[in-house]
Amino acid sequence: SRAETVSLAKRRLEVSEIPPAMAELLWGKAQGNPFYVEEIAYALRDTGKVLIRGGKCELAPGVDLGSLQFPDNVQGVVTSRIDRLAPAEQLALKVASVIGRTFASHLLRDICPIEEDKPLLDRHLDTLVTQNPTTPEAPEPEPAFSFRHVITQEVAYQMMPPTQRRALHRAVAEWYESRYRADLSPFFPLLAKHWSSTDEAARAI
């Protein structure tokens, strides 16, 4: 409902109130889709269209929400939010999307295709949690993260060219085969999934 839409936006932004114009935009665009509500609210925050001060959400000076152009579907909003991340953060999110809905940070680090990004990966993961596409799933000593929604994972995955996706699927499969070579049987379905996304169907079989 409209009231639940406003309540959800306030919880996600951790504020006690939002401007009436923002409530109208959220209801008009999302029409009750909770994930769409969240993504629009985050997009307004990330782009500085709304400001959070003292636990309240306010319109930025001179902003007319009625004149803003938003994508007509949630995938478009998610894409625009990913595009605003720094290149290294975008890459981390895209590589994670190949691993799966839940991903371990040590696996992500090991298959990261840019060596210079690996020492900064923890910082990038912190940013992704702060910006909300991901959420912590398991603590140290082997921290893991999850995509907050499968749509975010799918959008990040589709933003990569097919050749890059195939190379990353190969890297994931080879990582499991190396790490668990003493007994691969628990990972047969996972290995089949990743090898079938490369150009080596025989390995999948």
Ramachandran angles phi, psi of 57, nearest 5°: -105, 130
- Which structure tokens are listed for 48? 């500085």
pLDDT averaged over 10-residue windows placed end to end, the chain, 205 residues: 94 93 91 90 91 91 85 87 93 97 95 92 94 89 91 96 96 96 95 94 90
Q: Which of 163, 16, 14, 32 is nearest to 98 (CA)?
A: 163
Q: What does the pLDDT read at residue 30?
A: 86
pLDDT at 70: 78
Confirm whether pTM is higher than 0.75: yes
